[in-house]
Structure 1
Amino acid sequence: MQPTVKKTVKTIIHQGNDYLICVKANQKSLYERVQAISADCAPVSVYRSTESTRQRQVERIVEVFDCLAGIAPDWLGLRRLVRVQRQGRRQGKSYDQVSYYISSLATTARQFAIAIQGHWGIENRLHWVKDVVLSEDECPLKQGHAPANWGLIRSWAINLFRLQGHTSITKAQRRVAHDIEALLLLVQ
């Protein structure tokens, strides 16, 4: 996986763009090195935020590091390491998560926090809806073009519901499930 990621990073940089990539434990040496740097070096920028929504409370601490000692030089354009700690309570249960990122951007912790939360917004508004609400992972159609075609249909349905102002895809499904006129109004 590593050579493919590095090739992608090279393409991104050569096209004049920047990257922000989550470093996962399956990238063992990079993950361990970023962990060590964030433990040993002082951050150049820190941003803290708290959020309370529904049955969830979370505090985020985003730290940015410019120390790149020991990171392989073939991560083209690498300028910053980012550590994000999320602590809080979800449905009465405590949690503490730490994520690491590498980036070609040299920006503030606040800007990284906005970018990372923006990514999760996409994850929660599309991928989570497809996986959980529309049961995409449980779909028995696994052969040929069927998975891609059904993926397009699911995305199309989600977008139609969103265009009609629905914030809950579950409620939107229930509203049109047995009402052909309401269903047809979605596509007009």
Structure 2
Amino acid sequence: MNSSKATTQAIIESKNDYLITAKGNQFKLHKRIKILAQIEKTLTVYEEKDVSHGRNVSRKVSVFDSQNVNHKNYPHLQSFIEVERTGFRGDKEYNETLYPSSVTLREVDL
């Protein structure tokens, strides 16, 4: 977490935007975002289906306002994203959900 915190701080200080993924080993952040994705209203949703390279994939990307995340290591979060991927790789079914979070510094008052 310290490396991630230092990296995001350097990005913020350089006045750039960033996108990070809240991984399962970031227990509190990952859990908080997962819960919020179930109860918060989406800002926008994008869905697509893709059939290529032996895969049949459906993706649903939902964008949420991050004002309720309130994580001390990421105070400038502007939004978080839930990416749901389902489909088949060959004859094997899979289902995974990821939670990237983003900062758009044009919207952050530094």
TM bracket (short chain) = 0.7 to 0.9
Q: Equivalents in 2 of 1:99, 1:78: separation in Å? A: 16
3-state SS, counterpart of residue 7 of structure 1 = helix
Larger helix percent: 1
Q: Which residue of 2 aligns with 1:69?
A: 68
Q: Determine whether 1:36 maps to 2:31.
A: no
Runs of 4+ in 1 over 3 A off after TM superposition: none
Q: Determine whether 1:27 maps to 2:26.
A: yes
Q: Determine whether 1:103 maps to 2:98.
A: no
| Identity of matched residues, % | 30
Q: How large is the Cα RMSD of the aligned pairs?
A: 1.5
How far has the Cα of 1:11 moved from its partner? 0.5
Q: Determine whether 1:83 maps to 2:82.
A: yes
What are the Cα deviations for residues 53-108 of structure 1, in whole angstroms up to 9, with x where unaligned? 131110100000004314214414210010000011111111111001111038xx
Corresponding letter in the other structure for 1:55 = G
Q: Which residue of 1 aligns with 2:108?
A: none
What are the Cα deviations for residues 17-68 of structure 1, in whole angstroms up to 9, with x where unaligned? 1110011010000000000010111110100011001311101000000043
Q: Is the contact made by 1:9 and 1:76 (CA closer than 8 Å) also made in structure 2?
A: no
Corresponding letter in the other structure for 1:69 = N
Q: Equivalents in 1 of 2:22, 2:69: separation in Å? A: 15
Q: Is the contact made by 1:55 and 1:92 (CA closer than 8 Å) also made in structure 2?
A: no
Q: Equivalents in 2 of 1:39, 1:61: separation in Å? A: 14
Q: Equivalents in 2 of 1:82, 1:54: separation in Å? A: 26
Aligned residue pairs, count: 105
Larger strand percent: 2
Q: Is the contact made by 2:47 and 2:61 (CA closer than 8 Å) also made in structure 1?
A: yes
TM-score by structure 1 length? Answer: 0.53
3-state SS, counterpart of residue 26 of structure 1 = coil
TM-score by structure 2 length? Answer: 0.88
